[in-house]
Amino acid sequence: MQKPFRIWLVSLLCLAPLTSFASDMAERIKPCEACHGNQGRAGPDGYYPRLAGKPASYLYNQMQNFSQSRRHYTMMRRMMAPLSPQYQREMADYFANLQVPYLPPAIKSTPPSPAHMARGKQLALQGDRALKISACNACHGDNLMGNTANVPSLLGMPSAYLGAQLSAWSLGERTTVAPDCMGDIAKRLTAEDAAAVTHWLAAQEVPTQNSANPPKRITTDVRCGSAPELHGALQ
Amino acid sequence: MKPCSLIGRRLATLTVFVGLTLGAWVTWDNWGRFALTPVTASPSTAPHPTPHTLAHGEYLAHIGGCIACHTAKGGEPLAGGRRFDTPFGAVFSSNLTSSKTLGLGEWNANDFQNALHWGRSRDGRLLLPVFPYNHTSVFTSQDVQSLFAWLQTVQPVEHAQPAHRLTWPLGTQPVIAMWRSLFFTPTPFQSNDNQSAEWNRGAYLVQSAGHCAACHGQRNALGSFPEVDDLSGGFLSSQMWIAPSLVDATQTTIANSKLDDTANLLRTGQSPSANASGPMAEFVQHSGQYLTSADALAIATYLKSKLKISAFGAASPATGLASSSPSAQALYKTHCASCHGERGEGKAHAYPALAGNPAVVLTQPENLIQMALYGGYGPSTTQRPRPYGMPPYLFTLNNQQIAEVLNHIRSQWGNQATAVSPMQVDHVRAAIYEK
């Protein structure tokens, strides 16, 4: 056998175990797709949230929150507990870079009343001063798509999931680094208000993301332990 | 006087006498003897430990699981508060940092040796046997002192140990005393001069820091301590995981693996023929990956020597064997074959083979059901930082379908094992993972 060919063959054989999967990370995140849908585009059952295109730091923080019992969901806890922070970070980066189209908002068979939706819109865009509830867009961005690395988008999410999260925040089942601003707000929402705002959010079309147009920084008097960048420069 | 009331009175006297005698013995056994012969640490303890001693202490804290168990999820290392659900209630680990009020800051080497060798706290309180002091009693005094020296360097964290949630009178001192008199005797390490130094090192690690018997040994209904070298298999009833027998050659891959491969399984969570899952993956993540290769090899050497190979092979019941069906075959093709292969051959370095895999054909199918329901990743370790994982089927397949597909893999490619029932799948579904 000629030497160059032998070297070529040996290097090919060495690479074989590495190249036998279509893409390394695509293979490694297969377990996630069982619930979060193909390429993390959201679950087929209308509950499990989308991962694709979310800010990497946000996804990473959530993985850490599950591993460290600040968020509680047995399946996620079992999935995340054995993984190192470095590997979780790598997975977060992978999903953050996936650009896959959003599904249109689900149409409810019995549409909520216009008054209910109007209240939801009011809470989302103006808040309620009397109840000390700041508007969603004060922190989650003017287009509600999340305006910093630690603040998630609220659109493109099923109302059942949003409702479950608000309920978890209000009961202290979902917490974050103090001061826990989301927990404080959720505790002030009545069940009716929580339903109104989640129904309204879930009915909105997801705007086309434009990376050339940076999200607006909104001055807020709310201090959040999970998102220190809200009080300083954008990240 | 009637004769029967006389007998009754004598019986009562006898009962009181026996009760008092037993009470006196339990009191002597747990407290009295310490008053007469206080335990003192070896005088060789240097007031200023060397860097080598400290490094060795830290090594022991890792491989012994001290850090794993005395750290709450999301909490400061060694500040305690991790919850353990036992069949008798919930127990929380203690603070081992150098906090003077809530940790070991005021302890001296004697106090610490008393705790590890006798399961007694600094104030004489008997410790709950969730702390495996049968195993820590195996430690040499030198190891105990290294561990203590390192723990004293851990920055204080002012975190109080939460109150245990045990059903009264469990957890009270008299009950712990009685339990200890029944099930606890310190067992300092006995070396075997007929065996190599490596074998003895392995035996020492398995019986002390490794505390393998805590899961792989048998406990009775009172939660007795297994013998420190009992590796005949156990059941983690709260979590519903089987710790297979490490002496029965059919239950693990130890018999057919090279020593290097068994050592790698302990350090990386994977060998060519086995993957660590569930509580074993947790061991690898928090303790096993820190083992030096020499220590991991020593453990592998000791474990291989403990194997008992039955001349008749595994007892296989003639009835109740798993069998496949066309629908099971279809389920396997849809959900399993792309990773585990058409013939259960697996994919090297990623997905384990199912054919000839001892974990697949264990008579008790709980671990296999756990994997099918929850899937999950192996542990990220220094040498294998990016493990592959398995999707969960908890939501996709019902109990009947899971039982069917497991019966398929338990009856194909030379595998032969007992049948799994949908009821067994349901029992595992109902188990609480961790609060």
Using DSSP's 3-state secondary structure scheme, residue B35 falls into helix
What's the CATH code of the domain at B333? 1.10.760.10
Q: What's A113-207+214-230's CATH class?
A: mainly alpha
Question: Average pLDDT, whole number, for chain B?
Answer: 93
Number of domains in chain B: 3
Beta-carbon separation of A35 and B395 below 8 A: yes
Question: pLDDT tens, position by position, for chain A (235 residues)?
Answer: 455 555 555 444 444 444 455 579 999 999 999 999 999 988 766 688 889 988 888 899 899 999 998 888 999 999 999 999 999 999 999 999 998 888 777 777 778 899 999 999 999 999 999 999 989 988 888 888 876 667 888 988 888 899 999 999 999 888 877 788 899 999 999 999 999 999 999 999 888 765 544 555 455 566 777 776 665 433 3
Q: Which CATH superfamily is domain A25-103 in?
A: Cytochrome c-like domain (1.10.760.10)
Distance in angstroms (rounded) separating the CA atoms of residues B34 and A95 = 61
Residue B12 lies in a domain: no
At residue B71, the 3 state secondary structure works out as: strand
| Rounded-to-integer distance, Cα B166 and Cα B179, Å | 15
Q: Is A91 on the interface with B (CB under 8 A)?
A: no
Is B238 a member of any domain? yes
Distance from CA of B105 to the nearest CA of A (A): 27
Of A20, A69, A78, which is closest to B376 when you measure between CB atoms?
A: A78
CB distance from A28 to chain B under 8 Å?
yes
Q: Are residues B210 and B298 in the same domain?
A: yes
Q: What share of chain A is helix, strand, coil (3-state, %, to 5)?
A: 50, 0, 50
Say if residue B290 is in the same domain as residue B334: no
User: In chain A, what is the greatest distance between 2 CA atoms, to the nearest angstrom?
Assistant: 84
pLDDT of residue A1: 46
Q: Give me the pLDDT at residue A228, please.
A: 67
Residues B41 and B148 in one domain: yes
| Count of helices and strands (H, E) across chain A | 11, 0
**Residues B169 and B203 placed together within one structural domain of the fold:** no
CB contact under 8 A, B392 and A75: yes
CB contact under 8 A, B380 and A69: no
Residue B65 region, left (φ>0) first, then alpha (ψ -120 to 50), else beta? left
B209 CB contacts (<8 Å, ≥6 apart)?
Answer: B60, B63, B64, B65, B135, B139, B287
d(CA B24, nearest CA chain A) in Å: 46
Residue B48 lies in a domain: yes
Indicate the SS3 state at residue A88. Answer: helix
Here the tokens at position A46 are: 């209308």
Contact check, Cβ <8 Å, B374/A78: yes
Q: Are residues B302 and B340 in the same domain?
A: no
The domain segmentation of chain A, as residue ranges, is: 25-103, 113-207+214-230
Distance CA A30, CA B54 (A): 42
Task: Record the tokens describing residue A91, joined without a space.
Answer: 């997975």
- Same topology between domain A25-103 and domain A113-207+214-230: yes
Query: Do B202 and B249 belong to one domain?
Result: yes
pLDDT digits (tens, 9 = 90+) for B232-248: 999 998 889 999 999 99
Judged by DSSP in three states, B231 sits in coil
Based on the domain organization, do B301 and B346 belong to the same domain? no
Evaluate whether B180 touches B28 at the Cβ level (below 8 Å).
no
Q: Is A34 within 8 Å of chain B by CB? A: yes
Task: Answer yes or no: do B93 and B164 share one domain.
Answer: yes
| Judgement on whether residues B167 and B83 belong to the same structural domain of the protein | yes
Chain B residues within an 8 Å CB radius of A35: 392, 395
CB contact under 8 A, B74 and A70: yes
Q: What is the mean pLDDT of residues B252-261?
A: 96
How many other CB atoms are found less than 10 A from the CB of residue B173? Answer: 13
Beta bridge partners of B80: B71
Q: Tell which of B158, B183, B208 closes a domain.
A: B183
Instruction: Read off the CATH number of the domain in which B239 is found.
Output: 1.10.760
A81 contacts chain B (CB < 8 A): yes
Domain span at residue B87?
Answer: 32-183
Q: Are A122 and A128 in contact (CB under 8 A)?
A: yes
B263 CB-near residues (< 8 Å, 6+ apart): B291, B293, B296, B297, B299, B300
In terms of domains, do B176 and B70 share one? yes
Q: How far is B370 from chain A (nearest CA, A)?
A: 11
Q: Which of A20, A61, A84 to mutate to test the interface with B (most CBs of B within 10 A)?
A: A84
| Alpha-carbon A31 to chain mean position | 18
Q: Are A127 and A138 in contact (CB under 8 A)?
A: yes
| Euclidean distance between the first and the last CA atom of chain B, given in angstroms as a whole number | 62
Q: Residue B75: closest CA among chain A residues belongs to which residue?
A: A68
Neighbours of A17 (CB within 10 A): 12
Q: What is the pLDDT of residues B62-80, one digit of tens each?
A: 999 999 999 999 899 999 9
- φ, ψ for residue A13 (rounded to 5)? -65, -35
Kindly list the residues from chain B whose CB atom is less than 8 angstroms away from the CB atom of residue A90: 386
Cβ-based contacts under 8 A for chains A and B: 75
In contact, B93 and B73? CB cutoff 8 Å = no
Residue from the list B282, B391, B393 with its beta carbon closest to the beta carbon of A30: B391
Do B297 and B335 sit in the same domain of this protein? no
